[in-house]
């Protein structure tokens, strides 16, 4: 069906107002066909650079399909709210801004997409402000030639248990392999033109995951609908993880002429029998066709609505496959333990960071920080590396790693690196996590929690983020809500359980006055080189009247953190915000034999 008149005129270059929208000008050129527009829609929807929630993708799909079907007159806030968002007939666009907010999100995401992934796409889709009717135009050769390209874009942006042992080893080994004999400064500095020239591309090599069309094994109308919806939801959820690239479909699965095909393929099979649905998932390594991981997810149609069912299953798949400590990261940690190819060094540094998180050792920290410094200089526009680098500076402050460096200096470096990460990619959850931590340790707790809430809304399936956000909530006084999130993080983590979050549960148990559980969680965390571990264990042992064990912990702190107890009130206030919670910790420390100075 042809485009309706208003859209056709816009595409052909007339200055006019479209369905109440502001006037726009599109250069005269051949009208894109429906097939070309739909192909471009798929290209955008399945791109990792079109970083929006599933609802925004449905929004874009709806308005494009309505436009090419000749129904632009139906593209109103009311129809979008009821047909896309599932609102009832009482929806009032004057009092409910949901559609306007989502439209703004889609516009910004489209702008970003065409700046990064879509620079050379043949068709441009835009939604002018003032309405929701999309316009379509061909991108001319002149537009493509005028594109600033990766270097200019990067320059512009840069201005602004056995499993656990393997991860611990990798945290040291990979970082050492990457950094080698490089003498790098421990300071954040802006990327120079020379740095950018040395960069091998706009971003480093990171694993590529192709999500294939899911197979419908039942062959009914309902199962076909559910199968398509599941595949879309999985793509949407996995694309929120910035440590991998997500592509979709048979075309994306074919290796390019250069032979650099995708690393992994995700296949799904859906079977519907009565009220029971089973989703079978396999992750396949492309190099040899081996099955890296497989799992089944069962849902009951009588218990869940279809959309809820799809969301639950897709969230479980994304959590298992794509997050840090997930299946892909475990596979790559094993792959890179022997050697790291030159073109994978930056990615190996991010793996090394997550390995370091397993034991929070100061020696591992130093090598990982140096590795990430090198990665940010090699790829100055790699937002994830900047975010992780920021968190290594935060660790200097909260874990007292570099006693020779003053805490303000560490915090300044952390703030600078986090700001750069957020500027490069405002939707990057790891960047927002770094920003949350810098705000928290700067004393801006409310602002920190607001950033954490925004990041959690973007990707609630990221256990690294949800655990850290939950711990910030708990330490700010929201113990129940925050500790529930930390507990869920430990339960949902598909990889080796991170000792940091077990230690967080020890803190949660202490403040619930369950000192037996606190000791048990602390022993499971086993972060022998980390000061925070010894502090909570010392207070717990004091409450349990285990005086001899407490003496050992106290001596460790006095030896490894000289002067720590002299400033104990300041150190505790840096981490625990409410005075009543600080007093509860001081009670345990006093009972463990620690003299607490008067306030």
What interhelical angle do 568-575 and 383-398 show, nearest 10? 150
598 assigned to some structural domain: no
- Examine the domain organization and report whether 360 and 411 are in the same domain: no
The dihedral over CA atoms of 299, 83, 109, 143, expressed in degrees to the nearest 10, equals: 130
- Examine the domain organization and report whether 333 and 411 are in the same domain: no
Indicate the helix (H) or strand (E) that contains 377: helix 362-378
**Token pair listed for 53:** 């929630």
Residue 445: count other Cβ atoms within 10 Å of its Cβ. 16
The string over 108-132, giving b where at least 16 C-beta atoms fall within 10 Å of a residue's C-beta and e elsewhere, is ebbebbbebbbbebebbbbbbeebb
The tally of domains found in the chain comes to 3
557 assigned to some structural domain: yes
Give the end of a domain, one of 336, 355, 376. Answer: 376
91 assigned to some structural domain: yes
Per-residue tens of pLDDT for the chain, all 599 residues? 333 433 433 333 333 333 333 333 344 446 788 888 998 998 898 887 787 777 788 899 999 999 998 888 889 989 998 888 888 888 887 767 778 878 877 887 887 788 767 878 889 998 987 789 999 888 764 344 444 333 322 222 222 244 444 444 444 455 555 544 333 333 344 444 444 434 444 668 888 899 999 999 999 988 898 899 898 999 999 989 988 888 887 655 555 433 344 489 999 999 988 888 889 999 998 888 888 888 888 888 776 678 888 888 888 888 888 888 788 887 777 666 556 666 788 888 888 898 888 778 888 898 899 999 999 998 999 999 999 999 999 999 888 886 556 667 899 999 999 999 999 999 999 999 999 999 999 999 999 999 999 999 999 999 899 999 999 999 999 999 999 999 988 887 765 556 888 899 999 999 999 999 999 888 888 788 888 889 999 999 999 999 999 999 999 998 888 888 888 898 899 899 999 999 999 999 999 999 988 76
Instruction: Tell me the C-alpha distance between 395 and 400, whole Å.
Output: 7
Instruction: Tell me the C-alpha distance between 256 and 242, whole Å.
Output: 22
Residue 347: count other Cβ atoms within 10 Å of its Cβ. 27
- Examine the domain organization and report whether 371 and 488 are in the same domain: no
The string over 492-516, giving b where at least 16 C-beta atoms fall within 10 Å of a residue's C-beta and e elsewhere, is bbbbbbbbbbbbbbbbbbbbeeebe
- Examine the domain organization and report whether 479 and 522 are in the same domain: yes
Please, where are the H alpha helices in 30-148? 34-45, 54-68, 77-83, 98-115, 141-146
Q: Please give the full DSSP string across 463-509, using - where no structure is assigned.
A: HHHHHHHHHHHHHTT-HHHHHHHHHHHHHH--SSPPHHHHHHHHHHH
302 assigned to some structural domain: yes
Instruction: Tell me the C-alpha distance between 37 and 122, whole Å.
Output: 10
- Examine the domain organization and report whether 116 and 191 are in the same domain: no
- Examine the domain organization and report whether 367 and 464 are in the same domain: no
Name residue, tokens 């042809």. 2
Helices and strands in the chain, H and E counts: 27, 8
Instruction: Tell me the C-alpha distance between 271 and 520, whole Å.
Output: 43
- Examine the domain organization and report whether 50 and 185 are in the same domain: no
Residue 564 domain boundaries: 377-591
Indicate the helix (H) or strand (E) that contains 292: strand 291-300
Cα angle, residue 115 at apex, residues 101 and 35 outer, rounded to 5°: 80
**Token pair listed for 402:** 């570099």
Instruction: Tell me the C-alpha distance between 332 and 414, whole Å.
Output: 27
């Amino acid at each position: 069906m042809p485009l309706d008149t208003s859209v056709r005129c816009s595409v052909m270059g007339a200055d006019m107002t479209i369905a109440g929208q502001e006037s726009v000008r599109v250069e005269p050129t051949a009208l894109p066909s429906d097939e070309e527009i739909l192909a471009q829609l798929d290209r955008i929807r399945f791109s990792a650079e079109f970083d929006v929630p599933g609802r925004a993708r449905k929004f874009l799909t709806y308005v494009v399909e309505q436009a090419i079907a000749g129904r632009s007159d139906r593209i109103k806030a009311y129809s979008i709210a009821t047909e896309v968002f599932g609102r009832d007939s009482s929806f009032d666009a004057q009092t409910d801004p949901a559609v306007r907010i989502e439209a703004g999100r889609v516009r910004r995401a489209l702008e970003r997409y065409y700046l990064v992934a879509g620079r050379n796409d043949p068709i441009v889709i835009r939604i002018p402000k003032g309405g929701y009717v999309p316009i379509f135009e061909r991108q001319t050769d002149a537009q493509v030639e005028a594109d600033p390209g990766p270097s200019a874009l990067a320059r512009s942006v840069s201005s602004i248990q056995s499993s656990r042992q393997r991860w611990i080893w990798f945290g040291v080994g990979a970082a050492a392999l990457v950094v080698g004999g490089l003498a790098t400064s421990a300071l954040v500095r802006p990327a120079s033109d020379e740095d950018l020239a040395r960069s091998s591309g706009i971003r480093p090599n990171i694993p590529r995951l192709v999500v294939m069309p899911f197979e419908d094994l039942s062959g009914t109308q309902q199962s076909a609908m559910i199968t398509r919806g599941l595949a879309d939801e999985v793509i949407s959820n996995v694309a929120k993880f910035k440590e991998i690239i997500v592509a979709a479909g048979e075309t994306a699965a074919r290796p390019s002429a250069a032979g650099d095909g995708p690393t992994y393929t995700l296949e799904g099979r859906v079977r519907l029998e009565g009220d029971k649905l089973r989703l079978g998932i396999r992750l396949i390594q492309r190099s040899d066709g081996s099955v890296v991981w497989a799992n089944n997810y069962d849902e009951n149609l009588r218990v869940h609505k279809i959309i809820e069912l799809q969301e639950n299953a897709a969230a479980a798949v994304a959590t298992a496959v794509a997050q840090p400590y997930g299946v892909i990261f475990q596979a790559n940690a094993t792959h890179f333990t022997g050697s790291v190819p030159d073109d994978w060094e930056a990615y190996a540094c991010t793996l090394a960071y997550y390995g370091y998180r397993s034991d929070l050792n100061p020696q591992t920290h130093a090598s990982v920080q140096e590795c990430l410094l090198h990665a940010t200089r090699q790829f100055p526009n790699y937002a994830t590396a900047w975010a992780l680098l920021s968190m290594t500076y935060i660790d200097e402050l909260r874990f007292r790693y570099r006693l020779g460096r003053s805490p303000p200096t560490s915090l300044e470096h952390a703030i600078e690196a986090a700001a750069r990460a957020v500027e490069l990619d405002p939707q990057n959850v790891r960047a927002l996590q770094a920003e949350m931590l810098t705000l928290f340790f700067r004393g801006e707790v409310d602002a920190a929690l607001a950033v954490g809430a925004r990041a959690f809304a973007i990707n609630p399936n990221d256990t690294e983020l949800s655990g850290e956000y939950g711990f910030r909530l708990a330490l700010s006084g929201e113990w129940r809500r925050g500790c529930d999130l930390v507990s869920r993080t430990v339960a949902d983590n598909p990889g080796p359980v991170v000792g940091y979050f077990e230690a967080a549960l020890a803190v949660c148990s202490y403040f619930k006055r369950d000192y037996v559980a606190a000791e048990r969680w602390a022993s499971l965390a086993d972060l022998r080189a980390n000061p925070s571990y010894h502090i909570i264990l010392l207070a717990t042992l004091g409450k349990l009247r285990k005086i001899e064990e407490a003496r050992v912990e106290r001596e460790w702190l006095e030896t490894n953190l000289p002067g720590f107890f002299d400033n104990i009130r300041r150190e505790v206030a840096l981490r625990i915000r409410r005075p009543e919670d600080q007093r509860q910790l001081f009670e345990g420390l006093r009972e463990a034999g620690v003299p607490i100075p008067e306030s």
